[in-house]
Amino acid sequence: MSENQRHCPGEKYTISDAVCQGRRVRHYPKCKGCQFNDDEVQPKPPKVGNGAPIVDAIFKAYDVRGKVPGQINEDVAWRIGHAAAQYLLSTDEARRLTGDNAKAIVVGHDMRSSGQALMKACSDGILATGADCVSLGEIETPAIYYAVGSLQAAGGIMITASHNPGDYNGFKITAAGVKPVGESSGLKDIQRIAQSIEQSGGPLKGKLRQFDLSSGYIQHVRRFARDIKPMKIVMDASNGMGSKWTPSILRDLAIDVVPLYFERSGRFVHEPNPLRDENVADLKQKVIETQARLGVSFDGDADRCVILDENGDRVGGDTLTALLAAEFLKAERGASIIYDLRSSWAVRETIESYGGVPRRERVGHSFMKATLRKYNAPFGGELSGHFYYRDNFYCDSGVITLMKVLSVVSQSDAPLSGILEPLRKYATTGEVNFHVEDKDEMIKQLARKFADGKVDFLDGVTVEYGDWWFNCRKSNTEPLLRLIVEARSQDVLDDKFAGLKAMLGEPANE
């Protein structure tokens, strides 16, 4: 008896499954009490791909990220490519495109050792939908924004885990018009499709093309450099993508670069996250030792950078926002500048003193990019080292930030610490974390306790007085409240910080 045959009780001959099923549908008398009566009547559970199911945990607010190969592997990459292509080609902006790349998704990967294989699987997933795929090879994240914008593609997928350790990887997805794709703008749709489709071995219907972005991209970055003078800097690429194009751009500008961690082997000497002090310790030492004008450290995919002054002291993201805001406002008086609501008063004051319109925004790149667009602002900055540029498709870029810093530093013979001194005039705690059981309740309590100040709820709660202010907000990623306090003097700061700690408890050790 073959697999698809069965023996109906009381009958001489075997019958096929199809006949059996047909009989049951028509309530054939003999089928009453048939042992097969109930099988196949129940709907089968939906198939969730031929690999393991994709876990929800890898879908973050702005991207997809997880461990390789347990959470992120080629099956997941295929399905994300397939799902993202379906979504990206369906956006209004993509449908309005008419050029050669109107049905193309651009893809690239960073230096992580899993990158190439994941990009291949992701491209196959894209091609299987009938969309075309433009493969950019190993690139930095800002280059994918440039590619989507300059090639007028239907979207882009960058395979990177940014500043995470080497056993992570992920996907940053960009829509047509270089619009970010996040939780509230497409990523949920992509998640739903990716989790329900099955990888098929069918023909790849779209066209695959390799494209070398280098010369156009380098020219694009160079346009942000203005009258840069020769100087010595130390550059830490964190074994990431910063070492691909930036050194040659700097050489052309007669910058003497002392290199640190330029190898792109997929291994990291230190975690590619310059926000942590231990990851810029070597850079600090090298800046002092070589008497360089400044130090710069990029994160793994080079969309972020952190600057150290000639003493090896970190330049806060807000201080840098103020410094660069002045530069943009000299060229475009009256423009809006967007700044992170955790920024020092010095940012607002600088923007105003140069005739600009300061606009506070909540933390997160989708908010920053949207507000830049809304006000046609040439520039915006976040404490996290993300700086956004209108003329860079409203996107962030580590190397463009370095171009602007070098342009400003070139205008003066003073050391960077001297240039920054007027911007570092207030005392601050920096961001401090607290474990608090009921975070929403604590935010309400703080608002009640400080109700006599100027209170707003743009992100968590911010309260401002004449000589100090604080912001306390929930972390998006961890079960923490984050507090930042700034004051006109260290004494006032110590006093107010002590008062807040009485309510919030002792700061959490990271």
By CB under 5 A, residue 162 contacts Zn ion:
yes
By CB under 5 A, residue 303 contacts Zn ion:
yes
Closest to Zn ion by CB, 125 vs 240, is: 240
Closest to Zn ion by CB, 301 vs 340, is: 301
Closest to Zn ion by CB, 119 vs 161, is: 161
CB of 301 to Zn ion, least distance (A): 4
R_g of the chain computed on alpha carbons: 28
CB of 303 to Zn ion, least distance (A): 4
Closest to Zn ion by CB, 299 vs 327, is: 299
Report phi then psi at 89, rounded to 5.
-75, -15
By CB under 5 A, residue 299 contacts Zn ion:
yes
Element (H, E) at 502: helix 490-504
Question: Which stretches of 111-200 are assigned E, i.e. beta strand?
Answer: 132-138, 155-159, 168-175, 179-180
Closest to Zn ion by CB, 31 vs 221, is: 221
Angle (nearest 5°) at CA 39 between 35 and 40: 145
By CB under 5 A, residue 382 contacts Zn ion:
no
Stretch that binds Zn ion, among 65-73, 273-281, 298-306, 462-470 (CB under 5 A): 298-306
Stretch that binds Zn ion, among 26-34, 157-165, 377-385, 496-504 (CB under 5 A): 157-165
CB of 400 to Zn ion, least distance (A): 14
Which residues have C-beta within 8 Å of that of residue 1, sequence separation ≥ 6? 7, 14
Stretch that binds Zn ion, among 27-35, 85-93, 291-299, 378-386 (CB under 5 A): 291-299
Burial class (CB in 10 A: 0-12, 13-18, 19+), 32: exposed
By CB under 5 A, residue 301 contacts Zn ion:
yes
Which residues have C-beta within 8 Å of that of residue 488, sequence separation ≥ 6? 426, 427, 467, 468
CB of 383 to Zn ion, least distance (A): 15
CB of 432 to Zn ion, least distance (A): 23
CB of 44 to Zn ion, least distance (A): 42
Q: How far apart (Å, rounded) are the C-alpha atoms in residues 199 and 190?
A: 15
Nearest position to Zn ion, beta carbon: 162
Nearest to 50 by CA among 201, 202, 203: 201
Nearest to 468 by CA among 420, 429, 507: 429
Q: How far apart (Å, rounded) are the C-alpha atoms in residues 502 and 483?
A: 13
Stretch that binds Zn ion, among 263-271, 297-305, 476-484, 491-499 (CB under 5 A): 297-305
By CB under 5 A, residue 140 contacts Zn ion:
no
- Chain-centre distance for alpha carbon 322: 23
Q: How far apart (Å, rounded) are the C-alpha atoms in residues 204 and 321?
A: 46
Q: How far apart (Å, rounded) are the C-alpha atoms in residues 111 and 265?
A: 7
CB of 273 to Zn ion, least distance (A): 9
Stretch that binds Zn ion, among 16-24, 273-281, 303-311, 365-373 (CB under 5 A): 303-311
AA identity, residue 395: C
Set 114, 123, 135, 162: catalytic member: 162
Closest to Zn ion by CB, 301 vs 318, is: 301
Closest to Zn ion by CB, 59 vs 168, is: 168
Total interface residues for Zn ion by CB under 5 A: 5
Q: How far apart (Å, rounded) are the C-alpha atoms in residues 150 and 155?
A: 11
Active site residue 162: yes
Furthest CA-CA distance within the chain = 102
- 107: β partners: 135, 157
**C-alpha atoms less than 13 angstroms from C-alpha of 192 in its C-beta half-sphere:** 7
By CB under 5 A, residue 110 contacts Zn ion:
no
**Interface positions, 181-240, toward Zn ion (CB under 5 A):** none
**Active site members:** 162
Interface residues with Zn ion (CB under 5 A)? 162, 299, 301, 303-304
